[in-house]
Structure 1
Amino acid sequence: MRGSTVLPAIWLVSDARNDARLEAALERLPRGSGFIYRHYHLPGPERLAQFLALRRIARARGHVVILADSALTGAEWGADGIYAAPRALWPRRAGLLHLATAHDLGEIGLANRLGADAVLLSPVYPTRSHPGAKTLGPVRFRLLAARSRVPVIALGGMDERGAQRLEWPRWAAIDGLTRAPRPAARGLTGSRRGFMVRSHQEANPWPAAR
């Protein structure tokens, strides 16, 4: 793991539906934000080519670049870390950040045991990805997040307004960070400042590697 890396507060997550807006969104994010590249729908060579192009833009802005894939592929492609279900993060690879997905207490427990560096817990609010699916809501989100041994990033229907309503320092979004910005909403919350919250999760650096 990169011991000097600070966990960003804001994370842009790629998806087929925000593909055309990713470059502009990366430019608009506060410096030092996070970017999770998924794009599972693309064939291997095309996926790699787009990842490298977006990584160049992200690195120019000082963003942390995470690949949704294995640790081996993450290292080969030059990512800062990987994003996957808890079991898929193992075996760990030195020099990479390991971000786990979680939707319930069982997956939080797996992420704890398998040494994830952070957890993306979802869905907090209703999403376009899974219309009609059951959501955690703020109360259950907080209850589950309290069981995590590592920082938790809120995901699912999130945008800046939703993050402020949740009073949570770290959040990720697909649509919420690629929509055209409203005139009154210029300047997202800085990625190193986070939100003023009453939470042990606030503004912690990456935990030591296990």
Structure 2
Amino acid sequence: MAARYSVAVAPDQTPTIRDLRDLPDLWLLSDARNDAALERSLAALPDSSGFLFRHYHLAEPERRARFEALAVLARKHGHLVMLSDSAARAREWGADGVSGPAERIAGAGMLAVATAHDDAEIAAATSAGAHAIMLSPVFATRSHPGGTALGATRFHALASRSALPVIALGGMDPARARELGWSRWAAIDGLTAASPPARNA
């Protein structure tokens, strides 16, 4: 783990909130649709950002191999590498932490970012021992077309009631982050580096 994210571990092996003052502001999420651009995107992120590996579309052998390859690159830039899976698998694969719904990250014994969509899920994440919340969907998103977005007002209301750091997710990009007035956010498309222009033949 990069020095910035050296999480002091309590006797119960669970990091404490005071150790997360430097939780990354920017979080790149992996997905089938941005896979081809991930190497470029990880290099383009500011150093010491967050990388959440998902890649649910791959079977385990291929998924682990892709995780390991990207983790090496991510750590060259000081990025925090999280796995969206069970805590047991996150430890087995050498991730810096785990992400998922409250029931999956409960008692993780490692850095845990819980997903949440409402007050009840925020409360469940807090009770489960999460260290941060990824709250979504803030805006309309390609991942869930037709889904109901929280919108800025609802997002801020929920975030204000969270005792944990909140990461905004869903339709986020730099312009939306400024519109929302929120510096800590995550995205698939919004942080995926554009392909370089093709050279003329």
TM-score (norm 1): 0.83
Deviant stretches of 4+, over 3 Å = none
By how many angstroms is 1:169 displaced? Answer: 1.7
1:144 maps to 158
Question: Match for 1:159: what amino acid?
Answer: D
C-alpha separation in 2, matches of 1:51 and 1:171: 22
2:132 corresponds to which of 93, 118, 132: 118
SS of the equivalent of 1:82 reads strand
Structure 2 residue 92 is matched with structure 1 residue 76: yes
1:2 corresponds to which of 7, 12, 26: 7
1:194 maps to none
C-alpha separation in 1, matches of 2:148 and 2:195: 28
> 1:145-184 residue pairs with structure 2 within 5 A?
145-180=159-194
By how many angstroms is 1:16 displaced? Answer: 0.8
Q: Count the aligned residue pairs.
A: 180
Give deviations 1:155-179, integer Å, cap 9, x for gaps. Answer: 0000011001101120000011114
2:106 maps to 90
Q: Structure 1: which 5+ runs fail to align?
A: 183-210
C-alpha separation in 1, matches of 2:100 and 2:7: 18
1:29 maps to 45
SS of the equivalent of 2:68 reads helix
1:104 corresponds to which of 95, 115, 118: 118
C-alpha separation in 1, matches of 2:193 and 2:37: 8
SS of the equivalent of 2:157 reads helix
C-alpha separation in 2, matches of 1:132 and 1:67: 27
Q: Matched residues, percent identical? A: 54
Give deviations 1:125-176, integer Å, cap 9, x for gaps. Answer: 1101111211000000000011111100000000011001101120000011
RMSD of aligned alpha carbons: 1.5
- Greater helix content: 2
C-alpha separation in 2, matches of 1:7 and 1:99: 11
C-alpha separation in 2, matches of 1:160 and 1:92: 32
C-alpha separation in 2, matches of 1:165 and 1:148: 21
SS of the equivalent of 2:55 reads coil
C-alpha separation in 2, matches of 1:181 and 1:169: 25
By how many angstroms is 1:92 displaced? Answer: 2.1
Structure 2 residue 60 is matched with structure 1 residue 44: yes
The higher-RCO structure (CA 8 Å, 6+ apart) is: 1
Quick check: 2:113–2:131 contact (8 Å CA) kept in 1?
A: yes
Q: Structure 2: which 5+ runs fail to align?
A: 1-5, 9-18, 197-201
By how many angstroms is 1:114 displaced? Answer: 1.2
C-alpha separation in 2, matches of 1:181 and 1:51: 21
By how many angstroms is 1:91 displaced? Answer: 2.2
TM-score (norm 2): 0.86
